[in-house]
Amino acid sequence: MADHPWIKNYPDGVRWDAELPLMPVQQLLDDAVKRWPDNPAIEFMGRTLNYSEFGDLVNHAAKGFQLLGVGPGVHVGLYLPNTPHYPIAFFGALKAGATIVNYSPLDAERVLAHKIDDSETDFLVTLDLAVLYPQMGRLVAGSGPKSSRLKKLIVGNLADYAANSTAVRAHLQGAGQLAPVAVDDKHMAFAQLLENDGVYTAHALGDLRQAVVALQYTGGTTGLPKGAMLTHANLTSACAQYFATSQGNPRVLTEGAERVLVVLPLFHIYALTVNLLYGVRLGALLVLHPRFDVDAVIKDLIDKKISLFAGVPTMYMAMSAHPRVITGELKSLQFCGSGGAPLPVEVANRFVELTGCKLNEGWGMTETSPTGTFTPVHGMRKAGSCGMPLPGIELKFESLTDPDQEAKLGEPGELCIRGPNVMKGYWKNEAATAKSMTKDGFFRSGDVARMDSDGFVFIVDRTKDMLLCGGFNVYPRVIEEAIYEHPAVEEVCVIGIPDAYRGQSPKAFIKLKKDAPAFTLEALKDFLKDRIGKHEMVQEMELRAELPKSPVGKLLKKDLVEEEAKKREK
């Protein structure tokens, strides 16, 4: 450990070699129910469930899933916003013996169809919202872009866990409408899933380092998402890593006493681990918000005395501009985490000035559950750094010119990570798994970074062709392939451009076919709306007679990046 420069700068009372207990993920909830049965666990639209009630609902969901035929080897999909249905179905399916597959409401329908087929999802839980159900309704009926293997949809309603109909109506007015749900043998109500005695059959998991909890899909430059296999050991070690850093001197967070506002989407690995799993590990109250509405978020942060909040930089930008924050009303926060995209220094400084709570940046990936680095709340901190390795994690930096060599300390290289949090591999993709790993068992992140002599990491660039838009990974090739489907397009390049709110946004450079009619950005967006996700949508477009090419005819994206950078410098 002496050659790890970060260890000497760890916060007081925190050890890099801290014990990281491994357990079945569902045990996190069972332990919380035993320790804090009467503590509030979930609050949603005016209704609160304590840990005992939460655990009881999960047991009924587990029995309901088993009555449908769910058990070891069966994959259950979750296509849900942040409502109580998600944590109940998540833990219930795990107790039934299933593997979870998370689906993003941002995905285009054909991407959803690919994930269902690739992941071998048999059952899927969703809500009867117009922004969710119609896509899955078509897929389960076989009328979507391709045939689906789905056996049954389990469909919930916002009213299932709201205090009253007024709260539901208020939400629907702001976020959409309900959709009519088919009545047939391929559908059942979420409430019906729970109509049983709650006595389920527990299944032994065996080696926790091999037993997969979830297939968490992450994009790829080929356009086909890959399923990262995250195990029980991966996710519970990630929780243990977070917990170890919170128990220093002075202690950052206290078990059984914290309040977490959950606005990051739980289908995303960041929120799944940091908010749901770690929140349950702490015995915290989880206040669920189905979407980010800055007025509603600020109101709950203040009125409900939220102590822990995890967000992305765009959220902190919006919060820092809110009148109630500017006037100093937000004082309850004890810990704020930022991830998903680099955190601008000015945003962090402004937030601290207004709230008195430091913004703690970290780095991680879907494939790392998503732990990697952390910024100490107390002790040494460095502006522009994403922190130092969490307990149990090792980092190294491969030379950019010779992968068999390591970059010298302080020099940029490809960031590689090893630890109990690193995925088992990519689902049904041994070639991609092998390519992503070094000979000595480190995962290649695709990020170019450097580490200074104090062990702090600074992200420099990316080796992968990926954009970070509002905390979401966006792959230009996915967008390009969709644009190429337009009959008027001959060539296209998509690059990232600076966006003051989202970090980056996609811009498309397009060469039209001869005699093809020109079209507008709005026309392009209309063409793409069913082909790519909302987070991937092109925000700027430029039509050109020619796109830059190499002598062999390869489109030179880097030339466009340089042109755009020079244009914005003026």
* Residue 551 within any structural domain of the chain: yes
Question: Is the pLDDT at 147 greater than 60, yes or no?
Answer: no
Summarize the confidence of residues 337-342 as an average pLDDT.
83
Q: pLDDT tens digits, residue range 441-471? A: 999 998 889 999 999 999 886 666 778 888 8
* Residue 533 within any structural domain of the chain: yes
Comparison of pLDDT for 477 and 40, the residue scoring more: 40
Q: pLDDT tens digits, residue range 219-230? A: 644 457 899 999
The domain containing residue 522 runs over which residues?
Answer: 467-569
Q: pLDDT tens digits, residue range 261-304? A: 999 999 999 999 999 999 999 999 999 999 899 999 999 999 99
Query: CATH code at 506?
Result: 3.30.300.30
* Residue 504 within any structural domain of the chain: yes
> Per-residue confidence at 478, pLDDT binned at 50, 70, 90?
confident
Distances (CA, A) of 445 to 395, 415, 461: 10, 6, 11
Cα–Cα distance measured from residue 124 to residue 136, given in angstroms and rounded to the nearest whole number? 9
Summarize the confidence of residues 425-434 as an average pLDDT.
96
> Per-residue confidence at 550, pLDDT binned at 50, 70, 90?
low
Q: Is 439 exposed, middle or buried (0-12, 13-18, 19+ CB in 10 A)?
A: exposed
Comparison of pLDDT for 485 and 72, the residue scoring more: 72
> Per-residue confidence at 217, pLDDT binned at 50, 70, 90?
very high
Tokens read off for 476: 């230009």
Rounded to two decimals, the pTM is 0.88
Strands 212-218 and 99-102: parallel
* Residue 226 within any structural domain of the chain: no
Summarize the confidence of residues 205-213 as an average pLDDT.
97
Name the CA radius of gyration of the chain, rounded: 23
* Residue 243 within any structural domain of the chain: no
Question: Is the pLDDT at 172 greater than 90, yes or no?
Answer: no
> Per-residue confidence at 306, pLDDT binned at 50, 70, 90?
very high
Q: What proportion of the chain, given as a percentage, has pLDDT over 90?
A: 75
- In the sheet with 394-398, reading across from the earlier edge strand, the strands are 394-398, 413-418, 443-451, 457-462
Number of domains in the chain: 1
Summarize the confidence of residues 91-110 as an average pLDDT.
94
